[in-house]
Amino acid sequence: MKFYGNSVFEWFIACIIIISSFLLAKLVYWVCRNILRKFTKKTKTDLDDLLLDNIEEPFVFSIIIFGFWMSKQYLYIAVGWIHTVENIFYVLFAINITWVVSRVFTAIVAKYLEPLIAKTESDLDDQLLPILKKGINITIWILGILVGLNNAGINVTALLTGLGVGGIAFAMASKDTIANLFGGLTIFTDHPFKINERIKTKEFDGYVREIGLRTTRIEARTGRLVIVPNNKISNETIENISLEKFRRVDSIIYISNTMHFEKVTTAVEVIMKIISKYDGIESYKAGFSDFNEFSFGIRVVYNIKKCNDSKDYLKKQNEINLLIIQQLNNQDIAFPKRIINTK
């Protein structure tokens, strides 16, 4: 009695081989987990532990694939299907090898390269490493699949030519996405800002939290998360507030015009004295700038030296303003009181 061209005994042998391959794979996995790991842990290097962790699962999978391959040798397969079955095995073996290379590459980068990158002062390498790792991984898989298809007898050149034509059509349909990808590369290469720096454009003001290939995530000062396409942000004028060397303060202090005009000179002298003696202030000036029906205006301009925290700028400006109010009051210099006619 035969089923699909093979006797019961031939099907039995094939099933025994497949089951044996599963049992052997389980045994090898157990040996790797419980015996080989003990030996690798005793060595001085961590490389053998890393290789064992990432090779054992693909190796176990290769045993199962080989079991199916051997079982095929005991079965009769129709001529129309024999090449298809063999090609499937070629592709599976290529994918399995690609899996090993990809896992080992990812593990080596995570174990050895990422700690070195984390120690560098620059943030550019921290941002580029995940992108390069993902790009190389994709390249490994593409090459592995192409090799498998080539071994399976598929015309890879014709396939790539067809993909090239399709790629042009795809690029035309996804031009915005491609523009955002190039925008992301522009941000990485030009480096106009870093993670956690505060930037300002015409539309938003906030802190950069994440720079991706397609979008940049910015936490606005309102607390909301703004997701900006890289193409847009790379083409805008960006004001990097975190890189400012100083914070400029330009304001007008009004005093009452009911006093003698000499009080204006006194007020200017008092303000200049306060600013000149305040620590962290540079390039300061003050002078009588304008007047109206209620007051004299004294323009005050000074630069606060770079602070680590933006709150320190406001704190220093607040302290200076309080000192000005106190000293002007000591000189009997009054502030204007506008009388509103409610009739």
Fold of 244-330: Alpha-Beta Plaits (3.30.70)
How far apart, in whole angstroms, are the C-alpha atoms of residue 289 and residue 270?
A: 16
Torsion of CA 91, 97, 100, 105, to 10 degrees: -100
pLDDT of residue 322: 92
pLDDT of residue 50: 79
What number is the average pLDDT over the span 285-296? 87
- Domain spans, the chain: 2-150, 184-242, 244-330
CA distances from 321 to 48, 109, 178, 310 (A): 66, 54, 51, 18
Give yes or no for residue 233 having a pLDDT over 90: no
> Which residues does 11 contact at the CB level (< 8 Å), separation at least 6?
3, 75
Asked if 68 contacts 18 with a C-beta cutoff of 8 angstroms, the reply is yes
* 341 confidence band (pLDDT: 50, 70, 90): very low
Residue 70: closest CA among 10, 124, 6: 10
Is it true that 184-242 and 244-330 share their CATH fold?
A: no
How far apart, in whole angstroms, are the C-alpha atoms of residue 171 and residue 232?
A: 19
User: For the domain bounded by 184-242, which CATH number is listed?
Assistant: 2.30.30.60
pLDDT of residue 304: 87
How far apart, in whole angstroms, are the C-alpha atoms of residue 266 and residue 259?
A: 11
What number is the average pLDDT over the span 326-339? 83
This prediction's pTM = 0.47
* 301 confidence band (pLDDT: 50, 70, 90): very high
Give yes or no for residue 150 having a pLDDT over 80: no
209 in helix, strand or coil?
Answer: strand
Q: What is the pLDDT of residues 84-127, one digit of tens each?
A: 777 788 888 888 888 888 888 888 888 877 777 777 665 656 66
Q: Which residues of 24-51 are buried (b: 16+ CB within 10 A; e: fewer)?
A: ebeebeeebeeeebeebeeeeeeebbbb
20 in helix, strand or coil?
Answer: helix
